[in-house]
Amino acid sequence: MSEESVAGPRPLGGLSIQGLSKTFPGTRALDDVSVEGRRGEVLALLGHNGSGKSTLIKILAGFHQPDPGAHAWVDGQPLDLGDSEAATAMGLRFVHQDLGLIPELNAVDNVALTIGYSRRRGRIDQGQQIARTRELLQKFGVDFDVTLPLANASPVERTCVAIARAMWDWDSGPRILVLDEPTASLPSREVSRLFAVIREVRAAGHAVVYVSHRMEEIFELGDEVVVLRAGRVVGAGPVAAHTPEQLATLIAGHELQAHGHTVTERSDDVVLSVKALRGRYLDGVDVELRRGEVLGVAGLLGSGRDELPYALAGAVPTTDDGGWWIEGRQIDPPTAATAVGLGIGLVPAERGREGLIAEFTVRENLTLGALPALRSKRGGFIWGRSELRAAQEWLAELGVPTAVADRPVSTLSGGNQQRVLFGRCLHTDPKVLVLAEPTAGVDVGARESLYELLRARAREGLSILLASSDTEDLVSMCDRVIVLRRGRVADEMQGAEIDPERIVSVMESVR
């Protein structure tokens, strides 16, 4: 029997995968998955955290080996799945969520690390390399100083550098560009700039596989969609044939509740107050957070939105004119060392870089903030059994399988990693929980679960400050929202006044 009769016909004009499965010890990550991405189209790949999207991408990139029986083709030619060199030779190019850039280096060197340096008489021709990098970026409509460290570039500029570097040889033949959540850390205003780059790639006849949790992006950019759940394809077809509600239901496996404003009864009990807070971007911001309140913070990049959570947790230097107060008691400005003791917990924006320790187990990450409470009364030892029991109790409350307690935290899905980070902060029993981009890279199902967790804690009296570039977080979760512009509060809205269009228009100075 021929290979074609076993696996079916070999489609032309892009990427075709048939019968892909992947088994890890005790886990079936992918189960008979078939996917097709055509030239000149954007294939949107959707699914909750742990659905198999990352495993599929890692097999395409050659990081994982598939189970026997899978078949794949690029433009009708067989692709050896699990072989990184074969993937590169067949034109597959990848831009992962962390981009893989070195921020201390400029765009010229970051690009050269992939495509090599221009040389003249055995030496690096710096002038030629700069011109080469500029020419490459101009193909994607990107123009900035390529000689400055990428740490100085905007998030969208760094993302465009990663795409340009991956597609540096796109004139040499058709390519398949795989983008893993490229907008996860981008402010809303910069997403359109990135979309223009992706449309350039599509218009040039290349195939794009686009992974995102943001539903509005799928309908703006996608041509075809594949939805994974529990390692299986549960939906596929043209994006235009679906509604956002239908895709959300496919992702979650059940209909999702529509969250509106369920404003808690306003308490007069002020838990945290700080007057005229100043920092790198903050320019005299007053914060007053009441017991059980969820206060949202909106704003563009550089408005102070991203700085405020870290300022309240003492993680960045600040000054103030009116002092700090917690539960009516004046305190010294918190530092990173004193914030937890004062009852302020921080969930940072980048869980991989700032929050979790990838080499530690789930248990170790979860209990890290509460080790003093786990010490024995005699000798001050931390008993492994006590730590494990505490971790399992917290995992159960967070909705994470207790069996993962002794696995590396890096093996968990993004949604479960975020739950662990939430759990570690909540384990310290804070009075105030400060959140920076709490749902970045989290699917709709996991997002709903995190919302419910936070609402339950707010009902118990926990005060929450939530800074987010995602208006869905602000509309769904917050009792009150302040909008920052140029480091100052430009607007404040409460309850039914919280409207995504109003938030965006104030941020953009439209009104």
Per-residue model confidence as pLDDT tens digits over 412-433 = 877 788 888 888 888 888 999 9
Of residues 330 and 264, which shows the higher confidence score? 330
Instruction: Examine the domain organization and report whether 169 and 231 are in the same domain.
Output: yes
Residues 104 and 229 in one domain: yes
Residue 190 counted as domain residue: yes
Residue of 116 and 107 predicted with greater confidence: 107
Whether residue 6 is contained in a domain is answered as no
Task: Give dist(CA 110, CA 157) in Å, integer.
Answer: 13
Residue 261 falls within a domain, yes or no? no
Query: Do 243 and 142 share a structural domain?
Result: yes
Confidence class of residue 119 from pLDDT cuts 50, 70 and 90? Answer: confident
**Same domain, yes or no, for 124 and 69?**
yes
Query: CA-CA distance, 55 to 220, in Å (whole number)?
Result: 26
Residue 268: Cβ-neighbour burial (10 angstroms; 0-12, 13-18, 19+): exposed
CATH code for position 314: 3.40.50.300
Is 411 in the same domain as 473? no
At residue 374 the predicted structure's pLDDT band, cuts being 50, 70 and 90, is low
Q: Are 187 and 67 within one domain? A: yes
Q: Please check whether residue 449 lies inside any domain of the structure.
A: no
Contact, 147 vs 100, CB < 8 A?
Answer: no
Of 233, 222, 223, 333, nearest to 274 by C-alpha is 333
Cβ burial, residue 259 (10 Å; 0-12/13-18/19+): middle
Nearest to 462 by CA among 379, 376, 329, 345: 345
CA distances from 206 to 13, 45, 80, 209, 319 (A): 9, 17, 20, 10, 51
101 assigned to some structural domain? yes
More confident: 173 or 306: 306
pLDDT recorded at residue 11:
42
Tokens 């968990």 identify what position? Answer: 412
pTM above 0.85, yes or no: no
pLDDT band at 7; cut points 50, 70, 90: very low
Residue 444 has what pLDDT? 67
Q: What is the pLDDT of residues 311-370, one digit of tens each?
A: 999 998 999 888 899 998 999 999 988 988 899 999 898 887 788 888 888 888 888 877
Q: What is the DSSP pairing of strand 294-299 with strand 463-467?
A: parallel
252, 285, 320 — which closes off a domain?
252
**Same-domain check for residues 361 and 238:** no
DSSP-assigned letters across all residues of 289-347: EETT-EEEEEE-TTTTTTHHHHHHTT-S--B-SS-EEETTEEEPPP-TTTHHHHTEEEE
Is 260 domain-assigned? no
CA distance 206 to 246: 28
What local confidence, expressed as pLDDT, does residue 10 receive? 40
- What total of structural domains would you count in the chain? 3
The pLDDT score that the predictor gives to residue 189 is 62
Assess whether 286 and 228 both reside in one domain.
no
What pLDDT was estimated at residue 265? 54
Tens of pLDDT, residue by residue over 462-483, are 999 999 988 888 988 899 999 9
The alpha carbon of 118 is separated from its chain's Cα centroid by a whole number of angstroms, namely 35
pLDDT above 70 coverage of the chain, percent: 88
pLDDT of residue 285: 93
| Residue 253: predicted pLDDT | 72
Residue 217 to residues 111, 180, 263, 379, 416, Cα–Cα distance (Å) = 27, 13, 29, 56, 23
Measured between alpha carbons, how far is 486 from 257 in angstroms, rounded to an integer? 36
Q: Which of 142-156, 221-235, 244-258, 356-370 has the lowest mean pLDDT?
A: 244-258
Range of the domain at 40: 14-252
**Tokens found for residue 260:** 């509106």
Residue 34 covered by a domain: yes
Average pLDDT over residues 26-36: 88
Residues 205 and 272 grouped into a single domain = no
In a domain, 453, yes or no: no
Compute the average pLDDT of residues 250-269: 60
Helix, strand or coil for residue 354? helix
Verify that 215 and 310 share a domain, yes or no.
no
pLDDT at 2 over 50: no
Confidence of residue 196 (pLDDT cuts 50, 70, 90): confident
Same domain, 162 and 242: yes
Specify whether 380 is located in the same domain as 490.
Answer: no
- State the chain's mean pLDDT as an integer: 83
